[in-house]
């Protein structure tokens, strides 16, 4: 299966679930916007069709724009919502074809279903996502700390933009 | 050792023998407190045929309870800090610490990252600093030899039994 | 970390400090007598917060930070990053730069595989092989030092190209080095596939079928040893791989032996590719200009590290610093395989099994405690390794 046809197959598979599809032909890349409750079904469709493998789960933080600051600095594919959100990308790969499932969850309902029942290897990725972004994954088999130290405070998620720890962010004098 | 009290001449001779033994065959333990591996593979490389530190009597081994020298690499991460201290505490006196690599000296490129405490000397007393990213195996051997020399000449503090007895009496 | 403590089951945690290898990680194996019935992993001892740190460094500074994620596969990290950023900026490095990147990447693969061969042999109690392979590894270290001036962290990449050129003298030195290594690799191949004691520790151990490897998301040589056809250098060629294709190496053994064989065969492939590139080295510039501010956008950059697929997600907001960098290292994928493959194996096989995937903790992130009912006993990795060796005497 060439990468081109692989992408077409994926497009067909995900049509019933997608809110929007964005195709980047030259990169063999397909971005599929999903609503969080469609995630499990969409992954199941891919899994049942044996399409590719889960390469990574990446989180991207989209804090609500602060009034008085230039809020339009970022955002290419997605437009800015009012509410602070975490965008979660499930990246599937098959050969050169890359399929990205994009989901947005607001801070207030930062919850996603697990995909570990379909893809067992997702457990480490899900644990990382929980720790780094504070996205609650329902039904994931292990919820222990994976990366952060044991004495790390609850409710502090290092990869959220608002979290400023140590001297990491410029401008902070701590 | 507490009730052991020898004639001071005897004690001096005994201490000499101990220093001699220590200088001729220091046992080292290696701990990675958050390094990138670069320093660690270079430390391991010193064991291999081209550098072969064992010809100086230096032995890298597993248990902190048998070690004289703690060779430390990397910036200290929050999670590794307690382990590092625990390993240091498990080592018998006298003990020495060698910090290897820019990270161990200052935090290096990881300075300011949220899970990094900083340099090793913020956590443990360090005797020898070996700079480089990573230092060459030659540099690491040179660093260890420097420590041995300072032990021989008495610059580095090797708590002797004579001193210990004195302290207890005081 | 949660452990199940029952009177018949022992929990054997490995980590986080262990002397023979290089990095701390923490596993817990639940054992029933000799047989492992469960395994779990705790990383984070070398978690430094690089992804967050990267958001506070400029595009150029990040090359040096990301390169230092791992000291063994440092060049591939930098390569994945610069390739991604170049794509965002809409430039591509000149052919000569791509060729030099590829040569460095393959030399790094040789150093990494030889290092692994030594470490894996050491875990199996075969220290002679460890010493030999590390001695020969010095040859490739010399070559890397010759090119870049440093034995680890070559910093060959810059945004838009490379820093170092290869002249005829250096190329000849590389060719001579490769000739020596090729001869030695033939020898290792013979040792690994014919030495009876070694075969007893590797053949049929850690069996992973193709289905399992696929389901568990294994990558790199670990997957290819279970005949999974997955190699980014072939699937989605980058740098100079489109012009100098590599051959896919797979093995259908699926056991530890197959993992040895795949890696050794990959060495031969690396030698061949480097020679091919050196013979047809493109002429031209070493760098192109890359703007200081990278246009807004996001890119996924995948390269084949010595341990498997390395994944970078880079997002720019048009500023001098990246908005978000996500790094997913190959070792993280392969952890899953150990955790499930371990079940049903003897505790004595664990060191070899772990070494078999060539774990790299700093890419993600070992003392052993045995809980016998109430009493806990501490085991170091060394004890466990020794236990494994004695067990098979
Ligand atoms: S000093 Fe350099 S080689 Fe050593 S741990 Fe730090 S980054 Fe790695």
Assign C39 a pLDDT band (cuts: 50, 70, 90). Answer: low
Enumerate residues 10 to 39 of chain A having a beta carbon within 8 A of any beta carbon in chain C: 28-29
Enumerate residues 107 to 146 of chain C having a beta carbon within 8 A of any beta carbon in chain B: 115, 118, 130-131, 134-135, 137-138, 141
∠ Cα C364 C370 C371 (to 5°): 115
Residue A161 tokens read as 């933009």
Say what the pLDDT of residue A74 is: 44
Q: Is beta strand C157-158 parallel, antiparallel or unpaired with respect to C35-42? A: unpaired
Sign of CA dihedral C165, C169, C175, C177: negative
DSSP state of B110: G
**CA of residue B38 to ligand 1 center, whole Å:** 5
Chain A hits for C302, Cβ within 8 Å: 55, 93, 98
Interface test with A, best of B115, B118, B122 (most A CBs within 10 A): B115
Angle between helices C95-123 and C256-279 (to 10 degrees): 150
- Estimate the share of chain C in helix, then strand, then coil, as percent rounded to the nearest 5: 50, 15, 35
- Answer yes or no: is the C-beta of C95 below 6 A from any ligand 1 atom: no
Peptide bond preceding B134 in cis form (omega within 30 of 0): yes
Say what the pLDDT of residue A60 is: 83
Q: What is the dihedral of CA B40, B42, B47, B50, to 10 degrees?
A: 170
Mean pLDDT of the region C100-110: 90
Cα–Cα distance for residue pair C38/C21, rounded to 1 Å: 23
Q: Is beta strand C375-379 parallel, antiparallel or unpaired with respect to C368-372? A: antiparallel
Say what the pLDDT of residue C382 is: 53
Lowest mean pLDDT among B13-27, C105-119, C352-366: C352-366
CA–CA distances in Å: residue C307 to residues B82, C222, C339: 30, 8, 17
Give the neighbours of chain B: at least 3 Cβ pairs within 8 Å. Answer: A, C
Q: Is beta strand B69-73 parallel, antiparallel or unpaired with respect to B27-32? A: parallel
Assign C364 a pLDDT band (cuts: 50, 70, 90). Answer: very low
In this complex, do B112 and A149 lie within 8 Å of one another by their Cβ atoms?
no
Enumerate residues 222 to 281 of chain C having a beta carbon within 8 A of any beta carbon in chain B: none
Chain B hits for C70, Cβ within 8 Å: 36-37
List, for residues C345-363, the tens digit of each pLDDT value: 666 666 666 666 655 544 4
From its phi and psi, is residue A125 left (phi > 0), alpha (psi between -120 and 50) or beta?
A: alpha
Residue of C nearest to A161 (CA): C52
Contacts of C317 (CB under 8 A, 6+ apart): A73, A74, A75, C296, C323
**CA of residue A153 to ligand 1 center, whole Å:** 28
Fold classification of B25-165 is: Rossmann fold (3.40.50)
Regarding an ipTM greater than 0.90, the answer is: no
Mean pLDDT of the region B32-40: 80
List, for residues B136-162, the tens digit of each pLDDT value: 888 888 888 888 888 777 665 554 445
Assign C43 a pLDDT band (cuts: 50, 70, 90). Answer: low
Say what the pLDDT of residue C132 is: 87
B49, B61, B83 ranked by CB distance to C17: nearest: B83
Say what the pLDDT of residue B116 is: 78
C-beta neighbour count of C198 within 10 angstroms: 20
- Answer yes or no: is the C-beta of B39 below 6 A from any ligand 1 atom: yes
8 A C-beta contact, residue C336 and residue A120: yes
C49, C217, C313 ranked by CB distance to A158: nearest: C49
Judged by a CB distance cut-off of 8 A, whether residue A1 touches chain C is no
Per the structure, the complete domain to which residue C300 belongs is given by 50-332
Read off the CATH number of the domain in which C180 is found.
1.10.645.10
Side-by-side strand order, sheet with B128-130: B59-60, B27-32, B69-73, B96-100, B128-130
C48, C69, C141 ranked by CB distance to B115: nearest: C48
Query: Which ligand 1 atom lies nearest to the CA of residue B134?
Result: 3
Q: How many CA atoms lie within 13 A of C131 on its CB side?
A: 11
Say what the pLDDT of residue A76 is: 37
Assign C376 a pLDDT band (cuts: 50, 70, 90). Answer: very low
Question: Which of B32, B134, B135, B136, when mutated, tests ligand 1's pocket best, judged by the most ligand atoms within 8 Å of its CB?
Answer: B134
Mean pLDDT of the region C59-87: 86
Parts of chain A with a pLDDT under 50? 67-81, 167-174
- Answer yes or no: is the C-beta of B106 below 6 A from any ligand 1 atom: no
Say what the pLDDT of residue B5 is: 61
Give the neighbours of chain C: at least 3 Cβ pairs within 8 Å. Answer: A, B
Number of separate domains in chain C: 1
Residue C39, domain member (yes or no)? no
List, for residues C299-334, the tens digit of each pLDDT value: 888 888 888 888 888 888 888 888 888 888 777 767
∠ Cα C363 C367 C370 (to 5°): 130
Chain B hits for C383, Cβ within 8 Å: 62
Say what the pLDDT of residue C28 is: 63
Say what the pLDDT of residue C13 is: 52
Q: How many CA atoms lie within 13 A of A129 on its CB side?
A: 29
Cα–Cα distance for residue pair C33/C39, rounded to 1 Å: 15
Lowest mean pLDDT among B59-68, B92-101, C153-162: B59-68
Mean pLDDT of the region C183-206: 84
List, for residues C260-287, the tens digit of each pLDDT value: 888 899 999 999 999 999 988 888 888 8
The chain-wide mean pLDDT, for chain C, equals: 76
Residue B79 tokens read as 């999670």
Cα–Cα distance for residue pair A143/A141, rounded to 1 Å: 7
Contacts of B89 (CB under 8 A, 6+ apart): none
Domain range annotation of chain B: 25-165
Say what the pLDDT of residue C90 is: 86
| The residue to which tokens 């001036």 are assigned | C149
Say what the pLDDT of residue C355 is: 66
CA–CA distances in Å: residue A27 to residues A3, A8, C198, C236, C288: 10, 14, 45, 10, 22
| The residue to which tokens 């150990």 are assigned | C338
Say what the pLDDT of residue C22 is: 44
Chain A hits for C333, Cβ within 8 Å: 121
Query: Which ligand 1 atom lies nearest to the CA of residue B73?
Result: 5
Cα–Cα distance for residue pair C35/C343, rounded to 1 Å: 8
Domains and CATH numbers, chain A: 3-120 (3.30.460.80)
């Amino acid at each position: 299966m060439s990468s081109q046809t692989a992408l077409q197959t994926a497009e067909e598979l995900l049509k019933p679930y997608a809110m929007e599809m964005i195709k980047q032909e030259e990169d063999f890349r397909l971005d599929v916007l999903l609503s969080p409750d469609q995630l499990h079904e969409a992954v199941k469709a891919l899994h049942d069709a044996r399409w590719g493998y889960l390469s990574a789960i990446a989180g991207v933080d989209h804090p609500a724009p602060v009034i008085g600051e230039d809020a339009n600095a970022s955002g290419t594919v997605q437009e800015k919502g009012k509410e602070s959100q975490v965008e979660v990308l499930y990246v599937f790969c098959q050969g050169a074809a890359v399929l990205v499932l994009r989901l947005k969850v607001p801070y207030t309902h930062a919850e996603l279903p697990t995909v570990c029942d379909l893809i067992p290897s997702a457990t480490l990725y899900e644990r990382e996502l929980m720790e780094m972004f504070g996205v609650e994954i329902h039904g994931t088999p292990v919820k222990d700390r994976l990366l952060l130290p044991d004495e790390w405070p609850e409710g502090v998620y290092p990869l959220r933009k608002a979290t400023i720890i140590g001297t990491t962010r410029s401008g902070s004098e701590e | 050792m507490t009730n052991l009290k020898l004639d001071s001449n005897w004690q001096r001779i005994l201490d000499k023998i101990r220093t001699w033994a220590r200088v001729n065959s220091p046992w080292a333990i290696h701990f990675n407190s958050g390094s990138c591996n670069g320093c660690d593979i270079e430390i391991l490389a010193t064991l291999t045929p081209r550098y072969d530190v064992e010809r100086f009597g230096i032995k890298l081994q597993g248990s902190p309870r048998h070690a004289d020298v703690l060779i430390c690499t990397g910036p200290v991460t929050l999670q590794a800090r307690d382990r590092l201290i625990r390993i240091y505490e498990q080592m018998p006196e006298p003990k020495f610490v060698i910090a290897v690599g820019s990270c161990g000296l200052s935090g290096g490129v990881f300075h300011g990252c949220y899970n990094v405490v900083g340099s090793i000397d913020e956590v443990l007393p360090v005797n020898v600093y070996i700079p480089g990213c990573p230092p060459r195996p030659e540099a690491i051997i040179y660093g260890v030899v420097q420590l041995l020399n300072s032990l021989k000449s008495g610059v580095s503090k090797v708590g002797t039994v004579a001193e210990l007895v004195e302290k207890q009496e005081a | 970390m949660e452990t199940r403590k029952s009177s018949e089951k022992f929990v054997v945690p490995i980590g986080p400090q262990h002397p023979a290898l290089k990095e701390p990680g923490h596993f817990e194996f639940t054992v029933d007598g000799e047989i492992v019935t469960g395994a779990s992993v705790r990383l984070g001892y070398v978690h430094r917060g690089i992804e967050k740190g990267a958001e506070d460094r400029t595009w150029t500074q990040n090359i040096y930070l990301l390169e230092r994620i791992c000291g063994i596969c440092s060049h591939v990290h930098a390569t994945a990053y610069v390739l991604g950023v170049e794509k965002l900026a809409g430039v591509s490095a000149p052919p000569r730069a791509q060729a030099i990147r590829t040569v460095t990447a393959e030399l790094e693969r040789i150093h990494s595989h030889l290092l692994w061969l030594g470490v894996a042999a050491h875990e199996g109690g075969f220290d002679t092989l460890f010493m030999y392979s590390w001695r020969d590894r010095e040859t490739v270290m010399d070559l890397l030092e010759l090119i870049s001036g440093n034995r680890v962290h070559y910093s060959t990449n810059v945004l838009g190209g490379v820093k170092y050129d290869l002249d005829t003298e250096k190329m000849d030195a590389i060719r001579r080095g490769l000739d020596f290594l090729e001869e030695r690799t033939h020898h290792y191949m013979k040792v690994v596939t014919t030495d009876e004691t070694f075969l007893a520790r590797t053949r049929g151990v850690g069996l992973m079928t193709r289905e399992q490897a696929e389901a568990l998301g294994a990558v790199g040589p670990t997957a290819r040893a279970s005949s999974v056809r997955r190699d980014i250098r072939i699937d989605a060629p980058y740098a100079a791989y489109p012009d100098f294709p590599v051959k896919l190496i797979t093995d259908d053994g699926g056991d530890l032996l197959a993992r040895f064989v795949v890696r050794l065969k990959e060495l031969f492939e690396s030698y061949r590719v480097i020679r091919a590139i050196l013979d047809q080295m493109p002429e031209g510039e070493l760098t192109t200009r890359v703007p200081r501010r990278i246009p807004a956008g996001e890119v996924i950059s995948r390269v084949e590290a010595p341990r498997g697929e390395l994944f970078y997600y880079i997002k720019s907001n048009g500023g001098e610093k990246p908005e978000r960098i996500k790094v997913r290292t190959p070792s993280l994928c392969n952890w899953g395989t150990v955790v499930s493959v371990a079940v049903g194996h003897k505790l004595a096989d664990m060191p070899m099994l772990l070494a078999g995937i060539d774990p790299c903790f700093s890419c993600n992130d070992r003392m052993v405690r045995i809980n016998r009912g109430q009493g806990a006993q501490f085991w170091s990795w060394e004890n466990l390794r020794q236990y494994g060796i004695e067990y098979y005497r």
